[in-house]
Amino acid sequence: MSDATSVTSPSDLSSPSETEALDKRNRLVIRLLLISAFVVILNETIMGVALPHLMEDLGIPASTAQWLTTAFLLTMAVVIPITGFLLQRFHTRSIFITAMTLFSTGTLIAAVAPGFEVLLVGRVVQAGGTAIMMPLLFTTVMTLVPPATRGRTMGNISIVISVAPAIGPTISGIILSVLDWRWMFILVLPIALGALALGAARVQNVTTPRATRFDILSVILSVFGFGGLVYGLSTVATGVVPLVIGAVALIAFVFRQLSLQKRDAALLDLRTFTSRTFSFAIAMIAISMMTLFGTIILLPIYMQDVLGLPAITTGLLLLPGGLLMGLLAPTVGRVYDRVGPTALVVTGSTIVSAVLWSITMLDENTAFGWVLAAHIVLSLGLALLFTPLFTSGLAALPAPLYSHGSAIVGTVQQLAGAAGIAVFVTVMSAQAATLVAGGASEVTATADGIQLAFGIGAVISLLAIPAALFVRRPAATPGHDGGNSSEERARMEAGASEAVA
C-alpha cells in the first residue's frame, strides 16, 4: 500500500545525524513556503485602496475596476479545488516552482500593463500561483510536523492567512501616496523572483507522488460550481443567475465526488467531512473569513467616505490590528499545543461577535480613535481563532486526506471571503441608496448603511459561538478525545487507507 504523503520519518533513519539533517531540511522547506505564501497572499487585498487611482489613470468606471479583485478571487476559487489532485500527483518542488513561476509572471505582466485588459490578465495569472501555494503549505506542514508541535507551526501560517490580507490596504496606501500604482507590482516582483530562485535551489521533495485519476467532468463542474458562486456573490446586486448556476453545478459536483471517491478517483475527497471536528472547524473558518474580508472592505469605506480621512491614514489605522494578529499567532500556537483549541475558539468567537455588535453604532461623529480600538480588539479575537481552527481541523483527518482537507480549507476561505464582501457591501449600498432617495445626505446614508451591514455580520457571528464548543483537540494527540470517537476515527482511517491501496 502506498501513501500519498509518505515521507521518511526519524525512526526510519540509521543515526542521530541523519535525523538532525531531516529536521533541518523540513524546517527549511516550511520556512521557504511560509515566506512565499506571505508574498502571494498579500496581493489578494492590495488592490482595494488602489481602485480610485486605477479608475482615474485607466479611464474606467468602478464596476470595471472591481474586476481586478473579483477576477483574482474567481481564479482562486476555480484553481484551489484542483490542488488536492496536484498535491497527490506531483512532487513538492515541482508544485512550488510552478506556483511561484505563475505568481512572478503575473506580477511582471501587471507591472508593465499598458491598460486594464493586460492588468486583468496579470491578476488572473497571479491568482493561479496563489491558489496553489496555500494548500501546498498546509499539506506540507501536516505531513512534516509532529502533532505535539503543530499548533506552533500553524501559528506561523495564521500570520500568512490573516496578516497578509489585513496589511494589504496599508501597504497599498503608503505606496500610492508617493508612487504610481505600477509600483505595487514592481516592488513585489524582486521578492517573488528571489523566493522562486531560493526555493528552486533549496526546496526538496518531501512527499511521495502516486498515480491518481483525473476526472475532466469534475473539473468542469468545479469551474461552474465554485467559480459561479464567487462570481455570483461578487455581482449579487445585479442578479442571481450566476448564483443559481453555481449552486446547481456545485450540487452536481458533490454527487460526482461521492461517486468517484468509492474508487479513489475524486477530484476533491469529501470523506473529510465525516470528521466532526473538521466540519465544525470549516464552518467557523467560513464565518471568520466573512468577518475579516467584510471588515477589510467596509472600514476603509467608512473612514474615507464618512469620516473624510485620506487613503494613507486609513491604511495606517488598519495596520496595528494586522500586526497584532501576526504578533499573537505564535503565542496562540503554543497555547494550543498546551491546552487544545476549545478555550481559544470560544473566547475568540465571543470577542469577534462583541466587537461586531459594538461597531453597529458607528456614525459620522464617531472618533477615529474608537474605530482604531475596535479594529485592534477584533484582530485579537480573530487571532485566537485562526490557528486553532486550521490546526485542529486538518489534524482531525487521516494522513491520506491531508491534501484534500487543505484544498477544502482554501476553497472555503475564498467562498467565504467573497460572501463577506458581497453581503456587507450589498447591504450597505442598498440601505444607503434607500436613504439618499428619501432625502438623506450621502455621508449620513453611508454611515447608516455601514451600521446595518455590520449588524448583519454581528448576527452571523453569533453562530460561531456554539460551534466553537465542538472544536476539540484531534484524537491523535494523547490524552484528548479530539471530537471524534475512536470508532469514527478508525472508520475514517480504514476508508482512506483502502482508497490509496
DSSP state of 283: H
pLDDT (tens digit, 9 = 90+) per residue, 339-351?
889 999 999 999 9
Q: What is the pLDDT of residues 98-136, one digit of tens each?
A: 999 999 999 999 999 998 999 999 999 998 998 888 888
Give pLDDT, residue 394.
Answer: 86
Q: Are 282 and 412 in contact (CB under 8 A)?
A: yes
Residue 475 belongs to some domain of the structure? yes
* Distance of alpha carbon 107 from alpha carbon 183, whole angstroms: 11
Percentage of residues of the chain with pLDDT beyond 90: 19
Domain limits for position 57: 10-499
* pLDDT, greater one: 71 or 256: 256
Q: What does the alpha-carbon distance between residue 5 and residue 7 come to, in Å, rounded to a whole number?
A: 6
What residues have CB less than 8 Å from 137, skipping those under 6 apart? Answer: 30, 33, 34, 37, 157, 160
CA angle 292, 296, 298 (to 5 degrees): 115
- CB-side neighbour CA atoms (13 Å) of 234: 25
Q: Tell whether the torsion through CA atoms of 463, 466, 468 and 470 is positive or negative.
A: negative
74 grid coordinates: 474567481
For 148, 297, 314, 337, 381, the CA distances from 320, given in Å and listed in that order, are: 31, 17, 11, 26, 14
Residue 450 to residues 295, 298, 362: CA-CA distances in angstroms? 10, 7, 8
Under 8 Å between Cβ of 109 and 133: no
Instruction: Check: CB of residue 333 under 8 Å from CB of residue 151.
Output: yes
- Give a three-class secondary structure readout of 27-56: HHHHHHHHHHHHHHHHCCCCCCCCHHHHHH
User: Is residue 3, in this structure, part of any structural domain at all?
Assistant: no
Banded pLDDT at 61 (limits 50, 70, 90): confident
Higher pLDDT, 358 or 151: 358
C-alpha cell at 260: 468517484
Instruction: Write out the DSSP string of 151-210.
Output: HHHHHHHHIIIIIHHHHHHHHHHHHHHHS-TTHHHHTTHHHHHHHHHHHHHH----S---
SS3 sequence of 367-414: CHHHHHHHHHHHHHHHHHHHHHHHHHHHHCCCHHHHHHHHHHHHHHHH
Q: Looking at the 3D structure of the chain, how many domains does it have? A: 1
Q: Measured between alpha carbons, how far is residue 214 from residues 83, 93, 260 in Å? A: 12, 21, 11
**Distance separating alpha carbons of residues 166 and 42, to the nearest angstrom:** 8
Q: Which amino acid is at 121?
A: V
The reply to whether 5 falls in a domain is: no
* Predicted confidence (pLDDT) per residue in 262-275, tens digit: 877 788 888 899 89
Q: What is the rounded average pLDDT of the residues 324-336? A: 84
Assigned domain for 458 exists: yes
- Which residue has better confidence, 171 or 245? 245
Residue predicted with more confidence, 162 or 42: 42
Residue in 281, 330, 388, 32 with CA at minimum distance from that of residue 163: 330
pLDDT tier for residue 12 given thresholds of 50, 70 and 90 = very low
Angstrom distance (rounded) from CA 345 to CA 464 = 9
Q: Which amino acid is at 67?
A: W
What is the model's pLDDT at position 446?
A: 87
Assess contact for 44 and 72: CB atoms under 8 A.
yes
Lowest mean pLDDT among 88-92, 197-201, 210-214, 417-421: 210-214
Cell, residue 318: 488598519
On the question of pLDDT at 371 being above 70, the answer is yes
Residue 34 has what pLDDT?
A: 84
The amino acid present at 443, given as its one-letter code, is: V
Task: Tell me, yes or no, whether 2 lies in a domain.
Answer: no
Please state the φ and ψ torsions of residue 153, each to the nearest 5 degrees. -70, -40
User: Do residues 219 and 254 touch, judged by C-beta distance below 8 A?
Assistant: no
pLDDT at 497 over 60: no
Q: What is the rounded distance in angstroms from the CA atom of residue 113 to the CA atom of residue 117?
A: 8
Secondary structure element (H or E) that encloses residue 418, with its range: helix 402-437
Question: What's the pTM?
Answer: 0.73
Residue 375 sits in a domain of what CATH number?
1.20.1250.20
Written as nine digits, the cell of 316 is 495606517
